[in-house]
Amino acid sequence: MNMKFNLLVVDDEKNIREGLGTSLEMDGYNVLLASNGEEALKILNSKELDLIITDLRMPVLSGQELLKKVISSNPGLPVIVLTGHGTIETAVNAMRDGAYDFLTKPVNLDRLTLLVKRALQGRELATEHKALKAEVERLKSRQKFSRMIGKSSGMMRVMEIIEQVASTKASVLITGESGVGKELVADAVHELSDRKGKAFIKVHCAALSESLLESELFGHEKGAFTGALARKRGRFELAHMGSIFLDEIGEIDQSTQIKILRVLQEKKFERVGGEETVEVDTRIISATNRDLKEEIEKGSFREDLFYRLNVVQIHVPPLRERKEDISLLASSFLEEFSKENNKGVEGFEHKAMTALHSYNWPGNIRELRNCIESAVVMCHGNVITVDDLPPALQDTTDQNCIRICTGSSLAEAEKKIIIETLNSQKGNKSKTAEVLGIGRKTLHRKLAEYELDL
């Protein structure tokens, strides 16, 4: 069953130590025993351990001291502390020092079984998260796109095109839904071109009114309009020798469209209110989440401008079409926000990861990023659970569902639902029986039958 896990039980009372040991061995774990903190440390130095269960008050080296040493030398190794009645305060202190959880004596063996199971699951998830982190690092170092994460074929294709076109002067039109990462693509095109290090000017076209946008783009002469107190250079001029990013290009009005077309065709323009012709050498990158072909048909976007902008098109697929990227992105955002908020969140519970994969992400990566940020803030433990996720995501998973594969026997299915219900009721047997719709006696009989009653 769980043969791979090594558990260490530390208690100076022989009966307790051996009793717990036997019980955990029956659960299928490898169990090692120590009668004080010092013995425990010796074992810790010579064996790979997965979990420690320790008494607090012990001679030679106390549980508190052992806990502190373990936390500093093996962070992530879960430690469950045992405490006698009336010493809850000590237990709370131990939790503060980094213990995974505590159990009061006499130890309820059902609770112990559940707690151990949960702690080891968390440990597996943390390892899984580490593996994902390593993959993110590997991808980042292999690719020239340090900030762009993804391994899906859709993203690989995007990266391939970026590499191909970056060094050319061709205009690039980036398309895709809101939040897919169009701006990151634009950054990468500039960064990988030989214009890197020169100006990279970004203009958010939708944010400015028609007249403001014109003077922003092309600049104006002194006195061109009320408030034009001095000559101002426009964004095109500032982007000379570098690149300009026209974000939300689908939002610009007809007269500005004509002027931009001229810059594309002749590399020339005049400042607002001026006669002098300014020449620029700039690489044009634009982006839109609109269907420009449709806008052309409606007559709101110029076809000739579209063809000039769309020399190379990079379409960034929506996140729901590249779900393979979700784990990598989620792990990377988790790392970022865990650091930013000084939280030791180390991974995702399986159900939470499943929820992230079931959701269809209408707001794409921006929504995923915000979702992970809020989950990290909400998270109490060191693993993100379904409860930490925003409500929209919780709807997609039925938390009360368990997976039973075809090929299982009825007995296996029954055992599974009993364990999961016990788990969800935190080991409380009366509540478990109530939820399952059976009497307490029946539950006990079944627990014994499935060797769950220890």
* Contact footprint for Mg ion (CB under 5 A): 183
Closest to ligand ATP by CB, 204 or 240: 204
284: β partners: 244
Neighbouring residues of 386: CB distance < 8 A, sequence distance ≥ 6: 349, 351, 352, 355, 393, 394, 397, 399
**302, two tokens:** 């110029």
Residue 180 binds ligand ATP (CB under 6 A): yes
Instruction: In whole angstroms, give the CA distance from residue 171 to residue 267.
Output: 13
Instruction: In whole angstroms, give the CA distance from residue 201 to residue 282.
Output: 10
**256, two tokens:** 């500005």
Torsion, CA 331, CA 336, CA 342, CA 343, rounded to 10: -10
Partner whose footprint covers residue 179, from ligand ATP, Mg ion, none (CB < 5 to 8 Å by kind): ligand ATP
Partner whose footprint covers residue 20, from ligand ATP, Mg ion, none (CB < 5 to 8 Å by kind): none
Q: How far is the CB of 437 from ligand ATP (least distance, A)?
A: 47
Restricting to residues 295-334, which ones interact with ligand ATP according to CB under 6 A? 329
Restricting to residues 258-287, which ones interact with ligand ATP according to CB under 6 A? none
Q: Which stretch binds ligand ATP (CB under 6 A): 18-26, 81-89, 171-179, 237-245?
A: 171-179
Residue 126 binds ligand ATP (CB under 6 A): no
Neighbouring residues of 355: CB distance < 8 A, sequence distance ≥ 6: 386, 389, 393, 394, 396, 397
DSSP-based helix, strand, coil % in the chain, nearest 5: 50, 15, 35
Restricting to residues 193-252, which ones interact with ligand ATP according to CB under 6 A? none
Closest to ligand ATP by CB, 36 or 364: 364
The length of the chain in residues reads 454
Q: Which stretch binds ligand ATP (CB under 6 A): 83-91, 92-100, 175-183, 222-230?
A: 175-183
- Chain position whose Cβ is nearest to ligand ATP: 181
Q: How far is the CB of 247 from Mg ion (least distance, A)?
A: 5
Residue carrying the six token digits 């809101």: 178
3-state class of 400 per DSSP? coil
Distances (CA, A) of 293 to 78, 88, 247, 263: 58, 69, 17, 22
Residue 422 binds ligand ATP (CB under 6 A): no
Q: How far is the CB of 182 from ligand ATP (least distance, A)?
A: 3
For the chain, counts of helices (H) and of strands (E): 19, 16
Torsion, CA 36, CA 42, CA 48, CA 49, rounded to 10: 10
Q: Which stretch binds ligand ATP (CB under 6 A): 34-42, 176-184, 228-236, 336-344?
A: 176-184
Restricting to residues 132-161, which ones interact with ligand ATP according to CB under 6 A? 148-150
Backbone angles phi, psi at 103, to 5 degrees: -130, 140
Q: How far is the CB of 175 from Mg ion (least distance, A)?
A: 12
Q: How many residues bind ligand ATP (CB under 6 A)?
A: 16
Q: How far is the CB of 366 from ligand ATP (least distance, A)?
A: 4
Instruction: In whole angstroms, give the CA distance from residue 157 to residue 306.
Output: 23
Q: How far is the CB of 245 from ligand ATP (least distance, A)?
A: 10
x/- track of binding to ligand ATP for residues 358-387 (CB under 6 A): -------xx--x------------------
Instruction: In whole angstroms, give the CA distance from residue 450 to residue 444.
Output: 10
Q: How far is the CB of 419 from ligand ATP (least distance, A)?
A: 38
Closest to ligand ATP by CB, 58 or 155: 155
| Amino acid identity, position 55 | D
Among 178, 360, 408, 430, binds ligand ATP (CB under 6 A): 178
- Please give the residue ranges that form the binding site for ligand ATP (CB under 6 A): 148-150, 176, 178-184, 289, 329, 365-366, 369
